[in-house]
Structure 1
Amino acid sequence: MADDRILTTRQGHPVRDNQSMRTVGERGPATLENYQFIEKITHFDRERIPERVVHARGAGAHGYFEAYGTIGDEPASKYTRARVLNETGVKTPMFVRFSTVAGAKESPETERDPRGFAVKFKTVDGNWDLVGNNLKVFFIRDAIKFPDMIHAFKPDPVTNRQEAWRFFDFIASHPESLHMVTHLKSPWGIPANYREMEGSGVNTYKLVNDQGEAVLCKFHWEPKQGVRNLTSAQAAEIQGRDVGHATRDLYDNISAGNFPEWEFCVQIMPDGPNEHLTFDPLDDTKLWPVDQFPLLPCGRMVLDRVPDNFFAEVEQSAFGTGVLVDGIDFSDDKMLQGRTLSYSDTQRYRVGANYLQLPINAPQPGVKVYSNQRDGQMTYAVDGTGANKHINYEPSTLNQGLLEAPKPAKEYHQLVEGHLGRYQPTRVQDDYTQAGVRYRSFQDWERDDLIANLVGDMKACPEPIQLRMVYHFSHCDEDYGRRVAEGAGIDLAKAKALPPLPGKPAPGQNRTGSTYTDGKAEEGMPQLQAAE
């Protein structure tokens, strides 16, 4: 290969693995010395001025959260010491920002695109940000691929047009995306509005209790208004008369006193590798089957006030997946670990180093902020400094500066061990089963819309992409691949005869070459509600 085709960092170092972050063992946490990833993601965070790189088009509303004090039938304290999930009778202030993902700031809200669902709980223990989407899975499982993914989904750098061939050129090499694509290209890819859509934290987190015990968890918002989606034809009709219909719907309903409400639910799984499962619970391209891990209600959210000023509150609102409260912790989900760096880094660049001084982002009144962080552009206040304002460091032998907070009686200590390196999964890497289950769970009209959308896209792609995508769809479900091939005029036999992707296991095998079967693959998948 010619030297001008070798991928390098901006320092000129050759990139020998652009697929995986460096982690401690295959499933361990990422390390801060991930220079290649840090250079890549922090440059990506700064690619757009001044709008967000992703989630540029958005709407927001204020509301409150009320905890039930229970998680399912158990006291919430069994799983977590987070007060926001334990204390009943408390209305925790919240701000929620809904958004599209790939489109620009003035793009229509009828676009086929995931919808951002970012929630800022202003708890008595400080802020907790839960930053997710309406769809419960994602395109990729390793954050180092995020800039590549968004580049492929954004407009062509030459034509400035979003192109189907660029989108599917990326997807064709990343079969873990098939589950998300099956959602996205169906009516579930265009929610009818923000009120009637689900929300999900997407990534895997941990809950930690007073005994320092942890469980894995996923967070979900279930709309009490029900779920409603649009076909491409319905979306086109709405777009012809209103490119901001979802914002209008949200604001009009709240202003009329029709306050939208969601039930907050968690799924819980024992901490650990969970090797008995046919999927990795840290893989955000997979769902946790609800028959094994049911949605356990733990609270409700109500939105009851629209912003007073769109720019000050919606545009300047800033969220980060690293903003957690005591009792909620990180898992080793590689996307979560990468997002935790990227999101807050983006906000410091986009809004400024002092973005947390803005009222929309600051903790609720009554929560005192004491830090030794100083200066930076647009500083207009100084955090509380204790007895001696001269001491903006810690510790001090004068015993007049800020002090560390008391530690919990029992801290959670995760055992981490392994060889540092870049890893591809060696456990089951089944990127087809859940996508096939999703396809078969659709109603006939939803499948018809999915196939029609994919056929249109495939016709805009060159043959190598067409063949590889039909190969993928066929491994998800025979009918899925056949219908796309027939609709787009693609040679089905030629597609199915393709070899596996380089470096990927053959369908039905893991990376060690052993085969697997999934006799319960279709059991326990979340049931979809019909889009009206």
Structure 2
Amino acid sequence: MSVESITGPLTTESGAPVGDNQNSETAGIGGPGLIQDQLLIEKLAHFNRERIPERIVHARGAGAYGTFTVTADVTKYTRAHFLSEIGKQTETFLRFSTVAGSLGSADAVRDPRGFALKFYTEEGNYDLVGNNTPVFFIKDALKFPDFIHTQKRDPYTGSQEADNVWDFWGLSPESTHQVTWLFGDRGIPATLRHMNGYGSHTFQWNNEAGEVFWVKYHFKTDQGIKNLTQDEANKLAGEDPDSHQRDLRESIERGDFPTWTVQVQIMPAADAAGYRFNPFDLTKVWPHEDYPPIEIGKLELNRNPQNIFAEVEQSIFSPHHFVPGIGPSPDKMLQGRLFAYGDAHRYRVGINADHLPVNRPHATEARSHGRDGVMYDGRHAGQKNYEPNSFGGPVETGRPLWQPATVTGPTGEHVAPSHAEDDDFVQAGNLYRLMAEDEKERLINNLAGFISQVSRDDIAQRAIENFRKADADYGKRLEAAVQALRG
């Protein structure tokens, strides 16, 4: 796709024409530079500030615009307007990312992939911020900084350390399910187009009558699942660090638009308390035999961003961006993210990040009383900045976006309610037993290669024991593979 050219004379940021963009001003020929050189100072000052702080997680990303089309009637479950009728289309923006790597890291690495989708609806933007796995490593946001510290660079060595990773995972058995996903075949997608996406968390849907349903989102790739082996990924990451970003961009440029079939699992609110797993535990899935996925739509990506910094790096997504008919659940990881994502964007991009073209509503307009701050564009002109007012300002609707939850008991640092099959290993074992023999072999080799790098036997053994609790064969084979590598 061609980019529109800019014609006319080169100017400074303030619009003054530039007479010479090849030579800076000096005090005579060969003399020292002059601070009065407006263009030099402006260019260097701007260059020094071209990078904003990168995301702590999900720093490495690629994105594209697209369209979501409703294919089924879900009005008995939700009053969300963008889901109100079959055939209705909504503009979207999807950002893919790796989690642990920095902005300059390679694409083809073993890491979960972020799957952050913005719906530009007529009732405001709805952000669904998930991953390419249906579960996660931990179940409480209080542990998220600790977990990410183990995945990032060690304070002393400056490198990711196997000791840190496996020490934390071994002491956090709830991670066993997600680690089995990560080190299995789907841990390194071949491209961004050939992987699924998931909302991962449980969310609330509520209909016009006020009835509540719990839902999980699934985005099933129509391109088919394709993955890389560890050896293939190692080679590709070295030869083409931008492989996934390049593949996505080029596929859209040639008109080969990737698509996903959008499904939801729906649980009536009354089922939650007695369900065999805690339905709000991010380390668990809802088995499909309990709540079969229902197709509700199609997602197509069909337009590349024209400026990666403006539209991908400065794009922001917050799980707190809901619309009427959709809301949060008691998922403790989700509850923490409701605050953390918006706070990260206020720090990283600025208090007016929502005003940027990629982030602001496209199908409606924001009408708030927020003013001023860095990069405020003056859009409100002289309108009053308080509510209530008698000058015709925006007013509240009197109807919340989601239905209230009933809570009882004292405040405190409570463990989540326990359900009949709530242990940390049953679903990891189920996943292992679903794998074909060659899949199991690759899983064992991937895990053993990493666990064997730890410096202490007790850390390695504790990690192995978690997998043994998931499945005896799983643990036995892993222990043998680690021992063979450690000697």
* Range class of TM-score, shorter chain: 0.7 to 0.9
Instruction: State the distance in 2 between where 1:488 and 1:413 align.
Output: 50
1:92 paired residue number: 90
Deviation at 1:484, TM superposition (A): 1.1
Give the corresponding residue for 1:320: 318
Q: Which residue of 2 aligns with 1:145?
A: 143
> Contact (CA 8 Å) 2:199, 2:216: kept in 1 or not?
yes
Structure 1 segments, 4+ long, off by >2 Å, are 87-91, 272-278, 398-402, 405-408, 410-414
Structure 1 equivalent of residue 414 of structure 2: 423
Matched residue of 1:489: which SS? helix
Cross-structure match for 1:352: 350
Give the Å deviation of 1:279. 1.2
2:64 equivalent to 1:61? yes
- Which residue of structure 1 aligns with residue 386 of structure 2? 393
Give the Cα–Cα distance (whole angstroms) in 1 for the partners of residues 437 and 234 of structure 2: 21
2:481 aligned residue: 487
- The answer to whether 1:405 aligns with 2:405 is no
**Structure 1: distance between partners of 2:342 and 2:481:** 44
1:470 maps onto 2:464 in alignment: yes
Q: Are residues 1:378 and 2:372 paired?
A: no
Q: TM-score, normalised by structure 2?
A: 0.86
State the distance in 1 between where 2:462 and 2:299 align. 43
Q: CA offsets per residue over residues 277-336 of structure 1, 9 Å max, x none?
A: 331000010010001111111111100111111111010000000001100011111111
Q: After the TM superposition, which residues 36-75 of structure 1 pair with which residues of structure 2 at under 5 Å, given as runs?
A: 50-68=53-71, 70=72, 75=73
Structure-2 separation of matches of 1:381 and 1:206? 36
Amino acid at match of 1:162: Q
Tell me the matched-pair count: 432
Between stretches 450-459 and 94-103, larger displacement belongs to 450-459
Residue 283 of structure 1 is aligned with which of 275, 281, 284?
281
Does residue 1:440 correspond to 2:433, yes or no?
yes
Q: Secondary structure of the residue that 2:239 maps to in structure 1?
A: coil
SS of corresponding position for 2:462: helix
Q: Report deviation, 1:426.
A: 5.0
Among all aligned residue pairs of Structure 1 and Structure 2, give the percentage whose two residues are the same amino acid. Answer: 45
What runs of 5+ residues in structure 2 fail to find an aligned partner? 1-50
d(CA) in 2 for partners of 1:482 and 1:61? 44
Instruction: Look up the match of 1:42.
Output: none
| TM-score when normalising by structure 1 | 0.79
CA distance 1:392–1:250, change in 2 (3 Å): same
Structure 1 counterpart of 2:465, which letter?
Answer: Y
* 1:202-351 alignment runs, 5 A limit: 202-272=200-270, 274-351=272-349
* CA deviation map 1:243-298 (0-9, x unaligned): 11111111111111100000111101121473433310000100100011111111
- Letter matched to residue 432 of structure 1: F
Find the residue that maps to 1:437 and give its secondary structure: helix
Give, in whole Å, the separation in 2 of the partners of 1:290 and 1:249: 32
SS, match of residue 339 in structure 1? helix
Letter in 1 for 2:370: Q
Distance in 1 (CA, whole Å) between partners of 2:220 and 2:294 is 11
With over 3 angstroms needed to count, the CA separation of the structure-2 counterparts of 1:369 and 1:276, relative to structure 1, is closer
Equivalent position amino acid for 1:439 in 2: Y
CA contact (8 A) 2:265 2:294 kept: yes
Once the two structures are overlaid, the 10-residue window that deviates more, 338-347 or 418-427, is: 418-427
Task: Output one character per residue of 1:140-177: Cα deviation in whole Å (capped at 9) or x when no partner.
Answer: 00000000000011111111111111111111111110
The equivalent residue for 1:178 is 176
In 2, are the aligned partners of 1:357 and 1:381 still within 8 Å (CA)? no
Cα 1:314–1:191 change in 2 (3 A) is: same
1-structure distance, mates of 2:451, 2:398: 59
- Aligned-partner SS, 2:75: helix
State the alpha-carbon separation in 1 of the partners of residues 324 and 143 from structure 2.
30
Q: Decide whether the 8 Å contact of 2:167 with 2:463 is kept in 1.
A: no
Q: CA deviation at 1:390?
A: 5.0
Instruction: Name the Cα RMSD after superposition.
Output: 1.8
Distance 1:119 1:140 in 2: 22
Distance (whole Å) between structure 1 residues aligned to residue 352 and residue 300 of structure 2: 29
Identify which of 417, 430, 452 aligns with 1:459. Answer: 452
Query: 1:30-81: per-residue Cα shift (whole Å, max 9, x none)?
Result: xxxxxxxxxxxxxxxxxx961000000010001111112x2xxxx3110000
Instruction: Give the conservation status (yes or no) of the 8 Å contact 2:77–2:206.
Output: yes
C-alpha distance in structure 2 between counterparts of 1:142 and 1:242, whole Å: 36
- The 2-side partners of 1:235 and 1:187 are apart by 12
Secondary structure of the residue that 1:286 maps to in structure 2? Answer: coil
Please give the residue correspondences for 1:116-155 in structure 2 after superposition, counting only pairs within 5 Å.
116-155=114-153
Q: Is the 8 A contact 2:264 2:295 kept in 1?
A: yes
Maintained 8 Å contact 1:197/1:223:
yes
